[in-house]
Amino acid sequence: MKEQIKIPTSKIQRAASFAGAGAKIGGNYLKYYIKKAVNSDTQRDELNEDNAEDIYDTLSKLKGSALKVAQMLSMDKNLMPKAYQDKFQMAQFSAPPLSYPLVLKTFQQELGKSPLDVFQTFGKNALHAASIGQVHKATIDDKVYAVKVQYPGIADSVSSDLKLVKPLATRILNLKGKDIDKYFKEVEIKLLEETDYKLELRRSNEISKACAHIPCVIFPKYYSQYSSARILCMDWINGVALSEFVKQNPTQEERNKIGQAIWDFYMFQIFELMKVHADPHPGNFIVTKDLQLGVIDFGCVKEIDADFHKDYFMLLDSGSIENDELFTKILYKLEYLLIEDNVQIVPIMKRAFKDMLVLLGKPFNAEIFDFSDDTYFKSIYDLGEKFSKMTEIKEANGARGPQDAIYINRTCFGLYSVLNILGANVKTGDRV
């Protein structure tokens, strides 16, 4: 993949990049409507593909929070058209890497040394590149390290980038509502945390220590003496990313073993630690030759408020869903139903949330769940499609639910998606 020799860092440069993408999208719409005028059967698929290509091309060059938002959106199969999902998921681990001179500059600024003053060997070419930073391989004697280097200017551009990407995200997601700012504030807080590698090092040590007892789950050791706010050094875990593991056609037993490790890791965090690795995608899981699950990247960790935790997971419990009085009370408390909703929209929204929560809660209400069942995921997608076309729901205030739900929803959707990719049968038990 071609390396990037520079990143637009000033507000003007980054705004100009967004404006350029907007112009391309405008051209795509013009082309679509001309074709539509000639042939009324013309579908939006080509428009979506062209827009996804142009948007991703811009975001991948900007990197940072703009590209991270694209990665987040790609994890939910019901959130946007497939063309956007397919393109945006490249942000998870296939973004264009930065050239070595920019990496060298970051080392000089952060550690006052070059990479070869710190390590005996240091790979000039990044082995993995994502939205916030890229990973290089380094050694000292026989010890092998993974060194994550943050892209220049990313931390300083988070807030301004979100202001630029907000209109784009609201249009793709068809969001409405006067209270949408609180959701973007939550995203801003988490993205700023992701750019603080000192915080990530501390959280990595805390969670890996707390989860060390979970069978088949391993974590790298982190090295503060080789790290800074923009550089993070850890053990190199020998293995393959989860997506590559799947391509090796593992047995069902092997899939189940890794899937169970992932599920147990997440359930312990959610129900015992009350904080969770909130970035579950295939690039953050490494499978070793002896079928151990290596977990990396604790940049995004969501600490779960106790009251929110109780109400949110009660909504996934089949008993709570069937108790109409309790169900309605929780929907209002979490602002999925709003006090200003009229009498016509309340039963429609209740029905919509109930249907969706019954589906999403299935793994939590089963002893064993088959995540390889594509019909389950299709039913979620179909239900989302149905709701997106319902006039009553489209016209209702789109900003519903607490901001705390953003990263918990992301975690649950991401967890389900990873287990679906893996094709695992998991003992989910009675966790709610």
Q: Please state whether 423 falls in left (phi above 0), alpha (psi between -120 and 50) or beta.
A: left
Convert 38-82 into a string of H (helix), E (strand) and C (coil).
HCCCCCCHHHHHHHHHHHHHHHHHHCHHHHHHHHHHHCCCCCCCH
Residue 332 and residue 341 in contact, taking contact as beta carbons nearer than 8 Å = no
Q: What is the per-residue pLDDT for 64? A: 55
For the chain, 432 residues long, give each residue's pLDDT as a single digit of tens.
Answer: 456 556 555 555 555 555 555 545 555 555 545 555 545 555 566 666 666 666 666 666 655 556 666 555 555 544 455 555 555 555 454 556 788 999 999 999 999 999 999 999 999 999 988 778 899 999 999 999 999 999 888 888 787 777 777 776 666 555 654 567 788 888 889 989 999 999 999 999 999 999 999 999 999 999 999 999 999 999 999 999 999 999 999 999 999 999 999 999 999 999 999 999 998 988 899 999 999 999 999 999 999 999 999 999 999 998 999 999 999 999 999 999 999 899 999 999 999 999 999 999 999 999 999 999 999 999 988 887 788 778 887 777 667 889 999 899 889 988 999 999 999 999 998 554
Angle formed by the axes of helices 306-314 and 405-422, to 10°?
A: 50
Q: What is the pLDDT of residue 160?
A: 77
- Distance, in Å, from the CA atom of 67 to the CA atom of 57, rounded to the nearest integer, reads 10
**∠ at Cα 382 (359, 389), nearest 5°?**
115
Distance from C-alpha of 337 to C-alpha of 353, rounded to nearest angstrom: 10
Are 20 and 61 in contact by the 8 Å Cβ rule? The answer is no
Backbone angles phi, psi at 227, to 5 degrees: -125, 165
Instruction: Annotate 335-381 with DSSP letters as a single string.
Output: TSS-TT--TTHHHHHHHHHHHHHHHHTTGGG-SEEETT-HHHHHHHH
Taking the C-alpha atoms of residue 118 and residue 422, their distance in angstroms, rounded to an integer, is: 38
User: Residue 429's pLDDT is what?
Assistant: 85
In angstroms, the Cα distances linking 249 to 252, 273, 277 are 9, 34, 27
Three-state DSSP class for residue 229 = coil
Which of 293, 288, 149 is CA-nearest to residue 219? 293
pLDDT at 20: 57
Using alpha carbons, select from 123, 37, 81, 95 the residue that is nearest to residue 385. Answer: 81
Q: What is the pLDDT of residue 9?
A: 55
pTM over 0.85: no
DSSP 401: S
Tell me what pLDDT residue 32 has. 46
| Rounded Cα gap, residues 128 and 397, in angstroms | 40
8 A C-beta contact, residue 423 and residue 260 = no
The count of other CB atoms within 10 Å of the CB of residue 266 is 22
Q: Provide the CA 430 distance to its chain's centre, in angstroms.
A: 26
